[in-house]
Chain A
Amino acid sequence: MDAMEKNGRGDAEFSILDPHGRHREKKELPAYFRDLNLETVLDEMAFNWGSAVRELFHYLPETAEDEKYRRAVYGDVKKEGVFRALEAFVRRTDEAEDLRREKEKVPGTLQHSVWQVREAEVRCAAMMELKEALDREELSSQGLLTFRDILRQKLFSAGESAVRERVNGIMKRIRAFRMVITCEKDRIRVEPGTAAGEYGTLRGEGSGIIKNPFAATPLLTDLEAVCLQVLTKKDPGFFREIREVSDMVGDRRDPLADRFRKEIVFYLSFDTFRREMEEGGFSFAAPSVTESCPFMARGLYDLALACVFRREGKKVVANDFACREGERFFVLTGPNQGGKTTFARSLGQLVYFARIGLDVPAAEANVPFFRDIQSHFSVEESVETGRGKLKEELVRLAPMMEEKRQGTFVVINELFTTAAGYDALIMGRRVLEHFIRLGCMGIFVTHLKELASAHEGAVSLRASLDENRVPTYVIRRGEAEDVPCAETRVKEHRLTYEQLKERLS
């Protein structure tokens, strides 16, 4: 089970995102990110965990096996105890990094020694606490089990224990050290030790703690430095020991812990976000990935829209769908403002979050493996490029239809709206047939109702209206139909006797 031993790799080769520990180069933002409004979702995650998490979401794991590795890790991260432990580890490691940056500003000084000892203390504690917390948890993912084994080996080497002991000893003395400063008659007097009593008035109102006016800079001010000089003369042994311990511990940075810190926030940021959304009443599910079962979801919603609605206290309309044998492409028609684009987005998001190895915004889902996601959303005609809208669309569409894009999931929203109806239908039919032939699955949102019956692999979906012709945002299977134009609604004041009885009851 120990992946490290099995593969004979070093610590730094361990990755919590990839079972083979591969490093990924920085990737540009995938094209579908904007179309699926995934940026909105990433904003939420970056809000709590910093913008460095963003790029972890920019690439999908390569194989179904990689996806499974991540899903198992995320299954463990969702456990309350594991989440808290990992979160604490990240905070601790960040604290150590802050200390390292402080120390590097003052090389060779006594202050450098103190920062170095503290940094070592925090790094040891971060690893130790994480190991202890993980020991208490039932882990089931290969990723976290391997990481825990590596931690155990590291922490229990003999050298490591000795360092911990000396670091803790000197830190205890530093923390216990006190001195008294007396300002009077234009002089300052400094003595080691404590002073009795507390400022006599207003006792109990506040703790008597005074903010250090020089706290803004981590460096010593002249005043602090002169005070320190007086002290080193009075107690030279203490300050000598600080230097000795610092020289002994040296630089405690660890490539394994560093990489783990960078990567684990992928799971933590998503899980923080998931918890917040669940508190707002939006559900998430771990998708199953059974190839033999149909592609389906129940209670699927647009996560980006939900982010906005949660702030406004509104609910989203959720939808269900399931593919049947041989069905490859959804063709969605319906009235304007009927929820078509939202549904198409939610479908794309479903595939994205399943593929990246996390939970999906639905109550239940089965998502087969897709190699990648592609999207094509109609945009406003661009004045800058000077190309007509149709041309613009075709330029963007062409690379999507290449042979190498087979097996992808395709989201198309309104193609060829500026072309004549006859042409548009023929082009639409060809695009659809092409993608089906490439073994892609996807959704095609369109105004062309004839497209729904253009291919046997196509499933006709419709955005439905209620009896008053008001959009319900519910998407169902159904024959495409002509859409009524504008509907006028008569304002009523609801003041008849019966209406009033009902209103006042």
Chain B
Amino acid sequence: MNVCLLYRDSDRPGNRAYEDADNIIRDLGLKALFQDSARRLKTDSGKVLSVEEEDPFIAETMRRVMMIPLSSREEVEYRHAVLKDCIRHEDLVRTLYLISCRTLEEWNMLGRGGREKAQQVNPAVKLAESICALRLLCDSLREIRELAAGEDRESGKPLSEGFASEGFRSFFRRLREVFSEEREREALKVLEDISFFMDGGDGGGYRTIKARIVLECGLEDGLKFSSMKLREVSSESLRFFRPGTTMKKLQDLKYSRIPDSFPVDKDPRLSEQARQLEFSVVCSLAGRLNDFLMPEFQTFFDQLKIQAAFYLGAVQLKAQLERFDMDVCFPEVSDRRTLAFRDLKECVMGLRQRVHVIGNTCDMENTDLLIVTGANQGGKSTFLRSIGIAQVMAQCGLPVAAGVFRSGLFPRIFVHFTRREDSSMNSGRLDEELGRMDRIVDLIGEGSLVLLNESFATTTEKEGSLIAYDIVRALGEAGVKILMVTHLLPFAKRMYDERKDDPASGTAFLSAERTLEGIRTFRMIPHPPEMTSFGLDLFEEIVEKHLDGHGGARRE
């Protein structure tokens, strides 16, 4: 049975993960999101009591799920609905997560997924373990099935009626169908019939549990038992008498009247072989029970653990964001040429530095290329990152840190951020940058979004501008959406001059706002690129001031 809380019809993503996932995580700083979503915030009426330790499984799951984009509005809304149910019933999603964790842990102790050679155990132990695993499976499935029958704390109605999402409704409905009470009874009956094997013949008190087995077979295989079929099996409780006692002798005498029969408990070899026969029958039944349950539930708990972890992570992440005054919204899916948001915040910075982050507002329709220029230290890179983070979160069905967020879905996202020189890089920096670009071009395809941050700044401005011009033009013509922050002003100016009078060009120019007094507001405003990025401001502020203080010469 598929869990289908992440996707309507499958537990496997239809899309591939971002090819550039490692760079996306690194350049957008997503690790902070993964970690914070893995920590439970305990609150009491809005007041934070404690933050629990990070659950590495949740962090890893967030990383894996967030790196696989959804491909349609329906898929995104499907997750939104499930997530909204999770927000309403946080306890339920946590319980689902904990049950699957516990089940898998116990199952692993019962030798699931094989053991190492050194730990090889004898077949009888293995069989006993597999029977225990089947019992465990039945118990856990029943527990989950009965969760939905529980009571909703707020409304007092049964939980099953409180779900608004198709995902949860269908999950519990399918579980009731696939693991119906009848199916459970059947499984339990088999477990009961073979209990003589598990309970080691001990029937308690003066009783002993013995098997009763009827088999039919042929002789065609060289007179050996051939094509053996099981007709009956059950466990029967008999009176137990100590061997050698008169009562035991009487009991034996009574049983010896069974026609065409011979005793097996008098001869050690016969007795051993009779046990092997019983073992075969139990093995076969455990195997059949396995076939009866396992194909449906083999990976069920693995999937449930992953999917519950994702929603639990999402719920916890929302709480973390709200703790630092970052309100979230469920984003809207539009066409790929639209990008509009209100009060969008760079949440990684908010979570990590615990500072109040300035939100940006923007409304761009029919735009394929965004060029951001302007003052140094004006918040350009933060702005670009905030869009990138929100885009990744929106594409996997998470809420984003904004008042409103509307954008298209891009199956491929690439980031090309300028990097500090790395000791592991032995080629020149430009070469390294071009190498990364080369790889991106190799992977680019339908529905690509590229974020360029200070690209090609490792060579002269003139050369860098020419490289950027060629690449941006060629990518744009190939239908790639580009959001870029650049210091290459000759390039930005040239683009502006070519495109400012052509609304069909789909190009927008923003600039980091700087008041007349030189104060940076960290807001982006529509503005043509200027031939200065106001680095002089900074130069004055930092260098010259410093020099002043130390009696250095000052330029007039």
Interface residues of A, Cβ cutoff 8 Å to B:
102, 110-111, 114-115, 118, 174-191, 194-199, 201-202, 205-206, 208-215, 218, 220-224, 226-228, 230, 234, 493-497, 500-501, 503-505
Contact = CB atoms under 8 A, between A and B. Distances in A.
Nearest to A505: B478
A495 B269 contact: no
Contact of A210 (B186, B284, B291, B438): B284
Contacts, number: 207
A110 B232 CA distance: 30
Nearest to B269: A222
B216 A211 contact: no
A186 B265 contact: yes
A27 to B, nearest CB: 39
A198 B230 contact: yes
A177 B227 CA distance: 11
7 contacts: A185-B210, A188-B274, A197-B232, A201-B186, A211-B280, A212-B217, A223-B274
B109 interface: no
Contact of B217 (A181, A202, A213): A181
Contacts of B218: 175-179
Interface in B197-225: 210-225
Contacts of B273: 213-214, 221-223
Contact of B238 (A175, A185, A211, A224): A185
Interface residues of B, number: 75
A194 B269 CA distance: 27
Contacts of A504: 441, 444, 474-475, 477-478
Given A189-B260, A230-B262, A179 B216 contact: yes
Contacts of A186: 210, 255, 263-265
B334 to A, nearest CB: 25
Nearest to A496: B470
Contact of B289 (A177, A190, A202, A213): A202
B260 A234 contact: yes
Given A206-B288, A212-B224, A223 B215 contact: no
A110 B213 contact: no
A187 B222 contact: no
Contact of B474 (A194, A197, A501): A501
Contacts of B362: none
Contacts of A179: 216-219
B470 A191 contact: no
A215 B224 contact: yes
A498 to B, nearest CB: 9
B277 interface: yes
B164 interface: no
Contact of A195 (B216, B437, B444, B471): B216
B282 to A, nearest CB: 10
A194 B231 CA distance: 10
Interface of chain A, main secondary structure: mixed
B119 interface: no
A181 B467 CA distance: 86
B255 A494 contact: no
B277 A495 contact: no
Given A178-B216, A206-B291, A222-B269, 4 more contacts: A175-B218, A181-B215, A197-B232, A221-B273
A467 to B, nearest CB: 24
A45 B19 CA distance: 42
Nearest to A102: B222
A114 B225 CA distance: 14
Contact of A111 (B215, B223, B474): B223
A202 B228 contact: no
Given A177-B219, A497-B473, A223 B270 contact: yes
B235 to A, nearest CB: 11
Contacts of A222: 267, 269-270, 273
A226 B230 contact: no
A186 B209 CA distance: 11
A221 B475 CA distance: 77
B162 interface: no
B528 interface: no
A224 B190 CA distance: 27
Contacts of B227: 209
A213 B276 contact: yes
A197 B231 CA distance: 6
Contact of B231 (A118, A198, A202, A503): A198
B225 to A, nearest CB: 5
Interface string B458-478: 000000000100110111011
The 4 lowest CB-CB distance pairs between A and B, nearest first, are: A500-B474, A189-B261, A504-B478, A223-B273
Contacts of A184: 210-213, 236
Interface string B330-369: 0000000000000000000000000000000000000000
Contact of B214 (A195, A215, A220): A195
B534 interface: no
